[in-house]
């Protein structure tokens, strides 16, 4: 070290150090500025991604709405969605009785309960309720039973599912041939069915 | 501007070199006045490294053979060799010229030293005082190895004769491109005297070389005499080639031209040519120079390194800053674009939300409700109608069969039975059903019917039932049809009870009852 002529190197050292300081300062300042610009960029990028994501989700939702809305409205109008409409069922039965001039038509409806159909995998945001109905009728023939089921399906509020049905010939039919006479029963019908309604939470 | 210092043993000559051309020379006497003038010049002009070219009698050369070693062993051996001959001298040099072709293939090394450094020490001290970076001390005869190529003498045994200062000529013998021998001989001041000296000296030198077996008598020695063009005629008259030697008279200006010196070589002396070799651009490692001699050269290098580092650092900083600036520009452009796009997406989102907000329902709920309703309808919406129709169609061909009762059920219970044989379920299927991986729905109807008008012939009744069941099965393969009660149970293992009716029995008494089950298994 004592061999070094610092005087000789002084200017070079000062110049080098100064330049390096200035360069270092320049790089530091630019890095800092760049970091700020970068932060702003990423913040804007996040906003952009968020806006795009919301928009895409809204588009998907709209597509889903468009796909399912008419069906949903149909089920609402059919009484499948919402509150049970027991009065409507009773009115419907009375109408059918008058129309087909049945010998008898009686019903027994049990309290509404939550339906237990594991095979359906009912989603957790939906409640599927069921009211059990026992329907007994005195019919002219088996064809009336078919008509009864069809009319109930098409015109009643709600959805019903037949669990079991028995059509039994009456004593009258065993004794004589079937003749059309209103309010006469040649076949006794006993059916067990479930009236289903769907409820969904409003958001 | 570059400077080359030439020292021939007495005065110092400073040669100036600029842009490939020598632009002048200055000579300094070895006295106070000369030293002072030299120091002034050094301080004023010599900013960059200088080289000192020496052409001294007091330079001693030895040739030795040494075992070919590597690494530290070689360094130790070389140090011993130098110490053997030149222990007391600070300016020494060792160079491995070549390896022997045969035998042990030892190295042939040349060891040399400047044996009278006091001659040039005063000048070196001035350089140190003036802080002139001395790159190194160069031996003229060693530099002369580079002359062989322009002379065309690289592979020859060549004796090169040249004059740098008045009163002496240098003879340097080169074999296979390497200096083997050199000496300075006194010379006259005019051309005629020169010729005589050259003639005598070359004779002497040739004999010496032959005696020392540097050259073979069968090999011709090429002697190159570098001299001004005006002296060539004289030299050609005086110097005659023979079987042992061949003279080549070389015009110094022509040689200089061939070497790239612009313009004629000044004066009659050829130290300019050696100076051109040193300053021509190619890098030469110094032949001599102690650490003290080269101290300011190291300082100069350090200063250059500092400047280079600072410059590189500044350039790197500027480039780096430039790239950052460009990146920032690009980021800001992209940011602006994203801002515009984000606003567009936000507006789009608001438009859509306005459109679909009427129901006040989550879209997933809507989808789930519809899917559930459709599933319910599809799976559980069936009525006995389909089955009754199937039976009715077949009954059309069997007017003597009458339906009495129909029982229909729709169930998940695999064990439910109207009396038909149960389906056998293997353990794997049973496990999958229990764990909910698969599920089945069973739709089945049990129909009680009776055969009439069979003429009191039980066989006819049985046949009628068989025909009916067979036809029902053939027409409706989607159902499994099983007869669970026949009109007459003719199984030997069964108990049979009935009434044997006469032809007078009433119609109602004449019905043969049977029952069958239609079933379908639907996998959900």
Q: Which residues contact B55 (CB under 8 A, 6 or more apart)?
A: B6, B7, B8, B9, B140, B141, B164, B165, B170, B184, B271
Q: Is A169 on the interface with B (CB under 8 A)?
A: yes
- pLDDT, residue B508, reads 45
Question: Which stretch of DSSP H or E encloses residue B466?
Answer: helix B458-475
- In 3D, which of B507, B510, B465 has the Cα closest to residue B487? B465
Q: Is A65 on the interface with B (CB under 8 A)?
A: yes
Chain B, 280-339: which have a CB under 8 Å from a chain A CB?
Answer: 295-296, 299, 302-303, 306-307, 309-311, 313-314, 316-318, 320-321, 324-325, 327-328, 331-332, 334-335, 338-339
Cα dihedral value B328, B331, B335, B341, nearest 10: 160
Which residues of B are less than 8 Å from A203 in CB distance? 360-362, 365
Segments of chain B with pLDDT less than 70: 189, 281, 358-359, 489-491, 494-511
Rounded CA separation A162/B372 (Å): 18
**Residues 79-138 in B contacting A (C-alpha not used; CB under 8 Å):** 131
Long-range contacts of B73-80 (CB under 8 A, 24+ apart): B78/B109
Is residue A203 predicted with pLDDT exceeding 50? no
Across-strand partners of B162? B170
* Angstrom distance (rounded) from CA A179 to CA B250: 151
**Cβ contact, residue pair A48, B342, below 8 Å:** yes
DSSP for chain A? -TT--HHHHHHHHHHHHHHHHHHHHHHHHHHHHHHHHHHHHHHHHHHHHHHHHHHHHHHHHHHHHHHHHHHHHHHHHTT-BSS--HHHHHHHHHHHHHHHT-SEEEEEEPPPEE---GGG---TTEEEEEEEEEEEEEESSHHHHHHHHHHHHHHSSSEEEEEEEEEEE-HHHHHS-----TT--SEEEEEEEEEEEEEE---
Q: Which A positions 82-111 lie with beta carbon below 8 A of chain B?
A: none
Q: Which residues pair with B170 in a beta bridge?
A: B162, B184
What was the pLDDT predicted at B260? 82
DSSP string, B374-436: HHHHHHH---THHHHHHHHHHHTT-TTEEEEEEEEEEES-TT--SSSPPPP--HHHHHHHHTT
Q: Flag if A23 and B314 touch (Cβ within 8 Å).
A: yes
Quick one: residue B129, left, alpha or beta (phi over 0 = left, psi -120 to 50 = alpha)?
Answer: alpha
Kindly state the helix (H) or strand (E) to which residue B450 belongs, with its residue range: strand B440-451
A65: nearest CB among B299, B348, B363: B363
Q: Which helix (H) or strand (E) holds B471?
A: helix B458-475
Residues of A in contact with B316 (CB under 8 A): 23
Is B508 an 8 Å CB contact of chain A? Answer: yes
The confidence score (pLDDT) of residue B159 equals 92
CB of B383 within 8 Å of any CB in chain A?
yes
Whether residue A171 lies within 8 A of chain B, CB to CB, comes out as no
Helix axes A86-100, A142-155, angle to 10 degrees: 140
Q: What is the pLDDT of residue A190?
A: 94
| Nearest-by-CA chain B residue for A72 | B370
**Closest CA in chain A for residue B385:** A146
CB B201 within 8 A of CB B169: yes
pLDDT band for A169, please (50, 70, 90 cuts).
Answer: confident
Contacts of B464 (CB under 8 A, 6+ apart): B398, B400, B401, B451, B454
Look at residues B285, B259, B289, B287 and name the one whose alpha carbon lies nearest to residue B272: B259
Q: Which DSSP state fits B154? A: T
Quick check: B366 and A122 CB within 8 A? no
Q: What is the pLDDT of residue B130?
A: 94
Q: Do B349 and A58 touch (CB under 8 A)?
A: yes
Q: Give yes or no for a contact between A144 and A166, defined as CB atoms under 8 angstroms apart.
A: no
Chain A residues near residue B370 by CB distance under 8 angstroms = 68, 71-72, 75
- What is the residue-averaged pLDDT of chain B? 87
Is the reported ipTM for this assembly greater than 0.95? no
Q: What angle do CA B147, B271, B299 make, to 5 degrees?
A: 95
Listing DSSP states for B306-344 in one string gives: HHHHHHHHHHHHHHHHHHHHHHHHHHHHHHHHHHHHHHH
% pLDDT > 90, chain A: 44
**Lateral strand order in the sheet of B2-7:** B21-28, B12-18, B2-7, B50-54, B134-139
Chain B residues whose beta carbon lies within 8 Å of the beta carbon of residue A129:
none
Confidence (pLDDT) at B409: 94
Strands A159-169, A126-139: pairing kind? unpaired
């Amino acid at each position: 070290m004592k061999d070094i002529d610092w005087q000789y190197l002084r200017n070079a050292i000062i110049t080098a150090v100064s330049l390096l300081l200035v360069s270092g300062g320049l790089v530091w300042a630019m890095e800092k500025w760049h970091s700020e610009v970068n932060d702003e960029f990423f913040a804007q990028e996040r906003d952009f991604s968020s806006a795009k994501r919301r928009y895409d989700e809204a588009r998907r939702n709209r597509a889903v709405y468009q796909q399912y809305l008419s069906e949903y409205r149909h089920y609402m109008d059919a009484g499948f969605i919402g509150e049970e409409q027991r009065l409507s069922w009773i009115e419907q039965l009375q109408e059918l009785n008058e129309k087909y001039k049945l010998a008898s038509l009686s019903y027994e409806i049990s309290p509404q309960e939550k339906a237990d159909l594991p095979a359906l995998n009912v989603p957790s945001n939906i409640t599927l309720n069921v009211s059990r109905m026992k329907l007994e009728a005195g019919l002219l023939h088996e064809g009336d039973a078919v008509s009864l089921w069809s009319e109930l399906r098409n015109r009643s509020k709600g959805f019903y599912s037949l669990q079991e049905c028995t059509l039994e010939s009456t004593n009258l039919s065993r004794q004589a041939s079937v003749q059309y006479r209103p309010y006469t029963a040649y076949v006794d019908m006993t059916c067990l069915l479930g009236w289903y309604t769907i409820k969904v939470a409003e958001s | 501007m570059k400077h080359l210092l030439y020292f021939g043993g007495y005065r110092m000559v400073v040669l100036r070199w600029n842009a490939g051309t020598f632009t002048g020379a200055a000579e300094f006497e070895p006295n106070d006045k000369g030293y002072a003038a030299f120091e002034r010049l050094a301080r004023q002009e010599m900013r960059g490294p200088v080289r000192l070219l020496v052409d001294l009698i007091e330079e001693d050369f030895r040739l030795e053979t040494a075992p070919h070693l590597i690494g530290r062993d070689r360094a130790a051996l070389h140090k011993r060799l130098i110490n053997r001959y030149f222990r007391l001298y600070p300016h020494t040099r060792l160079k491995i010229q070549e390896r022997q072709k045969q035998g042990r293939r030892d190295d042939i090394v040349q060891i040399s030293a400047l044996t009278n450094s006091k001659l040039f020490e005063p000048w070196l001290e001035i350089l140190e005082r003036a802080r002139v970076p001395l790159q190194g001390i160069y031996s003229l005869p060693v530099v002369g190895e580079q002359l062989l190529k322009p002379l065309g003498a690289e592979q020859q045994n060549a004796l090169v004769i040249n004059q740098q200062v008045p009163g002496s000529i240098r003879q340097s013998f080169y074999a296979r491109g390497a200096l083997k021998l050199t000496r300075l001989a006194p010379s006259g001041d005019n051309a005629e005297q020169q010729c005589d000296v050259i003639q005598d000296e070359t004779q002497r030198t040739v004999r010496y070389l032959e005696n020392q077996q540097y050259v073979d008598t069968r090999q011709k020695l090429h002697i190159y005499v570098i001299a001004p063009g005006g002296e060539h005629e004289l030299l050609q008259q005086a110097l005659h080639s023979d079987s042992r030697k061949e003279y080549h008279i070389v015009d110094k200006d022509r040689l200089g031209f061939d070497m790239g010196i612009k313009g004629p070589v000044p004066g009659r002396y050829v130290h300019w040519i050696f100076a051109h070799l040193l300053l021509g651009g190619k890098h030469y490692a110094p032949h001599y120079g102690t650490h003290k001699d080269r101290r300011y050269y190291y300082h100069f290098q350090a200063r250059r390194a500092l400047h280079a580092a600072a410059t590189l650092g500044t350039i790197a900083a500027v480039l780096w800053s430039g790239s950052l600036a460009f990146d920032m520009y690009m980021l800001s452009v992209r940011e602006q674009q994203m801002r515009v796009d984000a606003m567009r997406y936000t507006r789009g989102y608001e438009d859509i939300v306005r459109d679909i907000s009427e129901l006040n329902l989550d879209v997933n709920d809507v989808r789930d409700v519809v899917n559930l309703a459709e599933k319910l309808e599809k799976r559980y919406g069936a009525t006995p109608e389909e089955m009754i129709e199937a039976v009715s169609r077949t009954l059309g061909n069997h007017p003597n069969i009458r339906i009495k009762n129909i029982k229909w059920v729709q169930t998940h219970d695999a064990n439910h039975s109207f009396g038909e044989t149960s389906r056998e379920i293997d353990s794997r299927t049973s496990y999958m059903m229990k764990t909910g991986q698969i599920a089945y729905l069973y739709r089945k109807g049990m129909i009680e019917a009776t055969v009439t008008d069979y003429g009191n012939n039980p066989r006819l009744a049985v046949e009628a039932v068989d025909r009916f069941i067979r036809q029902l099965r053939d027409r409706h393969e989607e159902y499994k049809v099983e007869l669970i009660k026949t009109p007459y149970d003719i199984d030997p293992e069964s108990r049979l009870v009935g009434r044997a009716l006469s032809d007078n029995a009433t119609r109602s008494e004449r019905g043969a009852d049977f029952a069958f089950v239609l079933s379908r298994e639907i996998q959900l």
